[in-house]
Chains A and B, each alone.
Chain A
Amino acid sequence: MRLYCQIMLNAVQSGTTYRFHTFITTANRLVALLVQFFLWTALYAGASALSVPITQVSLDEMITYAVFSTMISMIVANENIETLSQKIQTGNIVTYLIRPIGLFRSLLFETLGTKAFAALFEIIPILVVGYLFFSPAELPLSHLLRFLIALFNGFMVYFLLTFLVGMSSFWYLRIFHLSFVLTHLINFFSGIVIPIWFFPKALYAVTSWLPFDLIYYHPLAILLGKADESQNLFAFAKGAAWIAVLAAASAIAWMAAKRKVVVQGG
Chain B
Amino acid sequence: MHTVKLYGRFLIVYMRSQLEYRFSFFGDVFVNMLTFVSLYLGFWVLFQTFPSMDGWGFWEVLFLNNLNLMTYATCSMFLWGPMIQLENTVRTGEFDNFLVRPYPPLLILVFRQFGHTFIGHLIVSSCVLALCTYQLSIQWTVGNALFLLFCLIGGILIQGAIMIAAASSAFWVIRSKAVLEMSIYTVRSFINYPISIYVQSIQLLLTFLIPYAIVNYYPASLFFGKEERSALFYFFPVISVAVGALLFLLACKIFSRGVARYDSSGS
- Enumerate B158-184 residues with CB–CB distance to A below 8 Å: 175, 178, 182
Judge if A27 is at the interface, Cβ distance under 8 Å. Answer: yes
Given contacts A35-B189, A46-B51, A47-B50, contact A20 B45 (CB under 8 A): no
Q: Which partner residue on chain B sits nearest A56 by CB separation? A: B49
The answer on a CB contact under 8 Å between A42 and B193 is: yes
The answer on a CB contact under 8 Å between B186 and A46 is: no
| Residues of chain A contacted by B198 (CB below 8 angstroms) | 38
Interface string of A168-182 (1 = CB under 8 A from B): 000001101100110
Shortest distance between the CB of B58 and any CB in chain A (Å): 12
The answer on a CB contact under 8 Å between A188 and B182 is: no
Interface size in chain A (residues, C-beta < 8 A): 38
Interface size in chain B (residues, C-beta < 8 A): 36
Judge if B48 is at the interface, Cβ distance under 8 Å. Answer: yes
| Residues of chain B contacted by A39 (CB below 8 angstroms) | 53, 193, 197
The answer on a CB contact under 8 Å between B27 and A174 is: yes
Q: Which partner residue on chain A sits nearest B177 by CB separation? A: A24
Which of A86-94, A151-159, A194-202, A240-248 lies at the binding interface?
A194-202
Q: Which partner residue on chain B sits nearest A41 by CB separation? A: B197
The answer on a CB contact under 8 Å between A194 and B46 is: yes
- Enumerate A19-65 residues with CB–CB distance to B below 8 Å: 20-21, 24, 27-28, 31-32, 35, 38-39, 41-47, 49-50, 52, 54, 56
| Residues of chain A contacted by B52 (CB below 8 angstroms) | 46, 49-50
Judge if B42 is at the interface, Cβ distance under 8 Å. Answer: yes
Q: Which partner residue on chain B sits nearest A180 by CB separation? A: B31
The answer on a CB contact under 8 Å between B189 and A32 is: yes
The answer on a CB contact under 8 Å between B53 and A42 is: yes
Judge if B100 is at the interface, Cβ distance under 8 Å. Answer: no
Q: Majority SS of interface residues in chain A?
A: helix
What CA separation (Å) do A28 and B185 show in the bound complex?
Answer: 9
| Residues of chain B contacted by A143 (CB below 8 angstroms) | none
What CA separation (Å) do A46 and B49 show in the bound complex?
Answer: 11
The answer on a CB contact under 8 Å between B50 and A43 is: yes
Given contacts A184-B34, A187-B38, contact A177 B27 (CB under 8 A): yes
The answer on a CB contact under 8 Å between A188 and B42 is: yes
What CA separation (Å) do A191 and B153 show in the bound complex?
Answer: 36
The answer on a CB contact under 8 Å between B54 and A35 is: no
Judge if A7 is at the interface, Cβ distance under 8 Å. Answer: no
Judge if A193 is at the interface, Cβ distance under 8 Å. Answer: yes
Judge if B190 is at the interface, Cβ distance under 8 Å. Answer: yes
Given contacts A54-B50, A199-B45, contact A174 B24 (CB under 8 A): yes
The answer on a CB contact under 8 Å between B31 and A46 is: no
What CA separation (Å) do A243 and B49 show in the bound complex?
Answer: 32
What CA separation (Å) do A21 and B177 show in the bound complex?
Answer: 11
Judge if B96 is at the interface, Cβ distance under 8 Å. Answer: no
The answer on a CB contact under 8 Å between B182 and A24 is: yes
Shortest distance between the CB of B158 and any CB in chain A (Å): 20
Interface string of B185-223 (1 = CB under 8 A from A): 111011011000111001000000000000000000000
What CA separation (Å) do A193 and B185 show in the bound complex?
Answer: 17
What CA separation (Å) do A165 and B146 show in the bound complex?
Answer: 46
| Residues of chain A contacted by B34 (CB below 8 angstroms) | 180-181, 184
Given contacts A41-B197, A46-B53, A184-B35, contact A200 B42 (CB under 8 A): no
The answer on a CB contact under 8 Å between A198 and B182 is: no
Judge if A203 is at the interface, Cβ distance under 8 Å. Answer: yes
| Residues of chain B contacted by A203 (CB below 8 angstroms) | 45
The answer on a CB contact under 8 Å between B189 and A52 is: no
Taking a contact as CB atoms closer than 8 A, the residue among A35, A180, A194 that contacts B193 in the complex is: A35
Judge if B55 is at the interface, Cβ distance under 8 Å. Answer: yes
Interface string of B22-48 (1 = CB under 8 A from A): 001001100110110111011001101
Q: Which partner residue on chain A sits nearest B42 by CB separation? A: A194
| Residues of chain B contacted by A44 (CB below 8 angstroms) | 50
Given contacts A46-B53, A50-B51, A50-B52, contact A20 B175 (CB under 8 A): yes
Ranked 3 nearest A-B pairs via Cβ: A42-B197, A46-B52, A184-B38
Can you report 15 A-B residue pairs in the complex whose CB atoms are below 8 A from each other?
Answer: A24-B178, A31-B187, A38-B199, A39-B193, A46-B54, A47-B51, A49-B52, A174-B24, A181-B31, A184-B35, A185-B38, A187-B42, A188-B38, A193-B42, A194-B42
Residues of B within 8 A of A (CB): 24, 27-28, 31-32, 34-35, 37-39, 41-42, 45-46, 48-55, 175, 178, 182, 185-187, 189-190, 192-193, 197-199, 202
